[in-house]
């Protein structure tokens, strides 16, 4: 892992391969290793001739842990991604985000459109606009003294995932309380890049992916058949659809 200073926050990233760059932005409670390396995305995209860069979002993986929710807006994390491109002297790149990473990618498209040539929104459909509830329950579950004391099923799932990834649960609790910045439908309609929305058929978190794709001026939808929010990440349909989108 390499690191750089992003406006006072130490951000870790992994950079390998040659060719046109693609920046990968992981989801909540994950990291670049769990979201992208383990499921084979680095290998797949390198094999397709890309330079692949995976960022660990602030509070996640090997990046600096912060404990003030005000420091975890999706817009702030999009700023980390933009400054990583600056640090690597990359003028523009394909950007692919999953779940929270898709929301961050949307803010990057809005705030620095010249830096994003194409965008892939994985694991987030129309709930990018409508919002996703349960932030307080998830924060409480992450801060609970033990897993057995967590009553919320959603909170329990995130607590288990945070423990599996050996994450800083207090940093994640701060993050979940602020990272779900609302995005207006008009903002989505103004995203002018070619965009792919990839959501699992059985994903109950993301909302309908086809609805989000219809709002995007140059959007298309990929149904990751029979997969839910967690199992869609490394699916072969997802990978094949992304490669087709990139080569189109």
Domains of the chain are: 2-131+182-247 (3.40.50.1820)
CB 142 within 8 A of CB 173: yes
Alpha-carbon dihedral angle through residues 205, 32, 218, 178, given to the nearest 10 degrees: 50
Q: How far apart are CA 239 and CA 222, in angstroms?
A: 10
> What is the pLDDT, as a whole number, of residue 133?
84
Strand partners, 100: none
Of 11, 30, 29, 59, which Cα lies nearest the Cα of 171? 59
Distance between alpha carbon 122 and the CA centroid of its chain, in Å? Answer: 8
Each residue's pLDDT expressed in tens, for the chain with a length of 248 residues: 999 999 999 999 999 999 999 999 999 999 999 999 999 999 999 999 999 999 999 999 999 999 999 999 999 999 999 999 999 999 999 999 999 999 999 999 999 999 999 999 999 999 999 998 889 999 999 999 999 999 999 899 999 999 999 999 999 999 999 988 889 999 999 999 999 999 999 999 999 999 999 999 999 999 999 999 999 999 999 999 999 999 98
What are the residue ranges of helices labelled H in the chain?
32, 41-47, 74-87, 100-111, 127-130, 135-143, 153-164, 169-176, 185-189, 209-215, 236-247
Q: Can you give the pTM of this predicted structure?
A: 0.97
DSSP state of 60: S
Torsion sign across C-alpha atoms 170, 171, 174, 177: negative
Residue 237 corresponds to which tokens in the numbers above?
Answer: 């349909």
Residue 151 corresponds to which tokens in the numbers above?
Answer: 């009553």
């Amino acid at each position: 892992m390499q690191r750089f200073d992003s406006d006072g926050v130490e951000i870790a990233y992994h950079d390998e391969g040659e060719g046109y760059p693609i920046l990968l932005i992981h989801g909540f409670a994950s990291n670049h290793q769990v979201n992208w390396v383990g499921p084979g995305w680095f290998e797949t995209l390198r094999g397709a001739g890309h330079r692949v860069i995976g960022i660990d979002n602030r509070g996640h993986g090997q990046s600096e842990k912060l404990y003030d929710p005000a420091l975890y807006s999706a817009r702030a994390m999009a700023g980390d991604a933009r400054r990583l491109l600056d640090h690597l002297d990359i003028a523009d790149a394909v950007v692919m985000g999953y779940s929270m990473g898709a929301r961050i990618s949307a803010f990057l498209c809005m705030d620095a459109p010249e830096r994003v040539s194409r965008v892939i929104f994985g694991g987030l459909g129309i709930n990018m606009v409508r919002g996703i509830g349960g932030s307080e329950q998830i924060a409480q579950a992450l801060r609970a003294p033990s897993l057995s004391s967590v009553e919320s099923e959603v909170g329990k799932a995130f607590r288990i995932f945070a423990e599996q990834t050996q994450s800083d649960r207090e940093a994640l609790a701060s993050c979940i309380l602020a990272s779900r910045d609302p995005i207006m439908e008009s903002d989505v309609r103004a995203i002018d890049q070619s965009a792919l929305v990839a959501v699992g058929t059985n994903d109950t978190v993301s909302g309908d992916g086809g609805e989000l794709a219809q709002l995007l001026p140059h959007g298309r939808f990929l149904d990751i058949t029979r997969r839910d929010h967690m199992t869609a990440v490394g699916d072969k349909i997802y990978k094949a659809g992304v490669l087709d989108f990139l080569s189109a």
